[in-house]
Copies of this chain bind each other. A is one copy, B any other.
């Protein structure tokens, strides 16, 4: 398929129509051609670009970082050091978040276990734990 309108692109990319327009406004997707009715017309290149964006987003790469990656991709001769740094940084952040959530899980589980027999707010073990 050579051309498609925004709805079909949304289908193909598992991305809502509004999000596509949002990415365009953010400068992640370049402005597509418009047909006689002012409808956006996309080609397969746009689908590729959008797929790249979604892949990055699913990895927790921010919109600003994606912008940088898009610029970098146009300069094949430059060093890819910053790309590696970005990925390593994300690994660090994810590790940190994993640690936090793991700890949170134990705390929440402990709190849940303290539900007392009476089941009234006044003697609620859960609320007592929340109160530190």
> Is residue A6 within 8 Å, beta carbon to beta carbon, of the partner chain?
no
CA distance A69 to B72 in the complex (A): 49
Q: Which residues of B contact A119 (CB under 8 A)?
A: 79-81
Q: What's the dominant secondary structure at chain A's contact region? A: helix
- Determine whether the beta carbon of A132 is less than 8 Å from that of B80: no
| Chain B neighbourhood of A107, CB < 8 A | 59
Sorting the interface of chain A by its residue count into under 10, 10 to 19, 20 to 34 or 35 or more gives 35 or more
A104 engages B55 (CB within 8 Å): no
Instruction: Provide the bound-state CA to CA distance between A83 and B76, in Å.
Output: 56
With A73-B127, A77-B120 known, 6 other A-B pairs at CB within 8 A are A52-B130, A75-B121, A79-B119, A83-B124, A83-B126, A87-B112
